[in-house]
Structure 1
Amino acid sequence: MTIVRYFLVGGAAALVDLAVFTLLVKGLDQPWFEAALVSFCFSTTVNYLLSIRFVFQSGARFARRRHEFGGVMLVSLAGLAINQAVLWLLIERHDFDPLVAKVIGIGVVFFWNYGARKYFLFRVRT
């Protein structure tokens, strides 16, 4: 059941990511690299807040919320690196439309985020 809730939370965060990215790239004509950084930060915050509310037990592994959020940010930085690599590969090397590349990048990072959060950040201590 956790994966279903995370899929819904991830879907909401993905919509935020894609909406901000689209606004910056298509609406404000910003470069894809910078737009992806900004949109990823927004979606990571949304994902964290919704995840601790609906998916994972906050404080399950780390006693203090700031340590937990720091861990989320580290996992997210790795996700950002993966996202940027996918975008670079698809946009710069294979001439994909930035929005199509972003959707693919979001899909790839979804699985990284879920696994890292479930097995490292929010795993219940035994």
Structure 2
Amino acid sequence: MNYDTFVDQVSQRTRTPSEQAVELTRAVLETFAERLTGGEVLDLAAQLPQPLQLVLKPSPSTEQADRFGAAEFVARVALRARVQEPAARDAVRAVFTTLREAITGGEFDDVATQLPRDYRGLVEQAMAPGATLRRT
């Protein structure tokens, strides 16, 4: 999946303009990079378009996963994207669903199943059969 398609799908799923979808995507991916180990981040990034790889690039401070729950994940996304938490929650779901479509080999599923149970509400939509975007 190319970058424009990724952003377009997040935009459609969140019902936001493309510019805001870019910010939401960046906020979710930066937070996801904090939550995952550096190796997991590299595995995901390798399958994404270049602009998204740059967002997911691990640093020495993100080599170790920062263990925080789903509520903290949403709060960090809201802060980064400068949106309210309900909008951040919707953005997380939209980006996770789009990530799952964008990467091959079940990599997203492998990562998602390693997240604690309290993330279920954020990843279930992405994991559901037929979660792909239906264009009208």
Fold agreement, TM-score > 0.5: no
TM-score by length of 2: 0.28
TM-score by length of 1: 0.30
* Greater Rg over alpha carbons, structure: 1
